[in-house]
A = this chain, B = another copy of it.
């Protein structure tokens, strides 16, 4: 069983050195006074919680799973206790508004916590994760009364939240939503319909669950422009804020899944359940999309969390397991064989995991930094600017990092050999748990269409041009490190040129054939992922080079390893960028020509 240790040193590097979070917090409006020491303190207690509270109930939660009895769901042993500790620690309201009992801190500050919880126990971490979605919806679109009634217990963690979108016949295509909402004389609505795949849709962790539900008003236009958002609490809320009678929303079954067994996935039947409209009628999807970029950062974290936990497991095993001799001669002559970490192919797998974990961490933490401006920027312009950049980056982060998280988990099994396939080793749970990440909250295919179709083509690549300009400027810097940076900047610059040029070409081709978008989208997204991760690895390398020249630096081994990992990334992973680009620019007809009935004979 991998023993999780929070990667504090690397998080410090990313937050304090690479991205200068302290400087960022000084720049943000509001007097947060968050310096490096506070960041360390937050990380320290987050690590303690993840390592000591969550990690020990990860495997047992997987084995036990959730149980449904008479409409009630029991979470696995220990999950409730962990949740209490979480609430007592004040984690639930870290980034929530102070008015409703939150600490009002920038959301980026909770990212170490999110990543660590995810590594230690992804299933558990989904419960608070879903609540954040509901909270954000109410903060942005709730009436004052709704906020007053629902936010304080959500922020406190006494209540939890869900997002009820999917129905059995529609997931990504929300235009097909059929749940109905009938207005009542008292201003409330009766919600009727069935929702599936509702993460944390029913459980015994909290005294109430606040469902945010997509449904149609009687006079709603068809399609996505006729969907409204409703609050449907599991227990109706009395005027004094306390919990009243049970609402007509029932958990009729829970899914048996490949992984994330500790996180319940519910089928919910709404039978004239009482609901309350949030935001304007028929604008439900727009309301939801206001925070979709931020919630997708949360999804991308799963890739990073997974790469980290899988690396830790594989690394421990590779140091301990002995098999064969190094081809360059015994490294461990007193033992019957060398530890497998001497073998280049094992190192290839470990370094791939490491490059994904650390590269992904830099990407995600930077996106969270930008997201702070989206939620708390001083001016409308600053908020818009952040929104544009996030809009471009989040499908890449969500799509690419979850795909790479799956690859990291796969390598974690492979390093273990046959032992990786055995339950008690814990590596196969990581593999099963992460597999959902490329699916929920929009599959990789959906992220790809969002990126190329909406975020780039509809924008006429304006935001992309800005972003690529930033990378080009970066590649031209470094003063006396210029020569040593070339190994990174030369391939990066080349791919940025290709990105630019190929995007224009695809846009042109798409004018004549709309299928160009769908045909290119997946490989285009993966291409951009490898380039963006390359950008962050080059930035980390530049910083490491500088530190290694600094004679007062006491931690040179860390920076040397950073530089070596950057070098590995460009040598062994970055070449995939070109391959994906080649496929993205492939012939549309190779996908569309075959008649549907000819796929199998």
A residues within 8 Å of B by Cβ? Answer: 7, 9-10, 166, 169-173, 175-176, 197, 255-259, 311-312, 315, 319, 322-324, 326-328, 336-337, 339, 341-348, 350-351, 354, 406, 410, 413-414, 417-418, 420-424, 428, 431-432, 435-436, 438-440, 443-445, 448-449, 513-515, 517-519, 521-523, 557-558, 560-561, 564-565, 567-568, 571-572, 575-576, 578-579, 582-583, 586-601
Contact = CB atoms under 8 A, between A and B. Distances in A.
A515 B345 contact: no
A433 to B, nearest CB: 11
A176 B311 contact: no
A591 B344 CA distance: 6
Contacts of A583: 571-572, 575
Contact of A315 (B440, B561, B578, B599): B599
A391 to B, nearest CB: 20
Contacts of A579: 575-576, 578-579
A597 B316 CA distance: 11
A578 B580 CA distance: 11
Given A173-B337, A567-B590, A414 B439 contact: yes
Given A418-B436, A564-B598, 9 more contacts: A7-B601, A171-B418, A176-B337, A255-B423, A257-B428, A344-B591, A413-B435, A557-B595, A561-B598
Given A173-B324, A418-B171, A435-B431, A315 B517 contact: no
A555 to B, nearest CB: 8
Contacts of A515: 326-328, 344
A428 B597 CA distance: 25
- Which has the most chain B C-beta neighbours within 10 Å: A9, A171, A345, A439? A345
14 contacts: A173-B337, A175-B324, A176-B336, A257-B428, A258-B423, A343-B518, A345-B449, A345-B521, A414-B438, A568-B594, A571-B586, A571-B590, A572-B590, A579-B579
Given A344-B592, A345-B521, A579-B575, A323 B170 contact: yes
A354 B588 contact: no
Given A176-B337, A561-B594, A171 B432 contact: no
A56 to B, nearest CB: 19
Contact of A601 (B9, B341, B593): B9
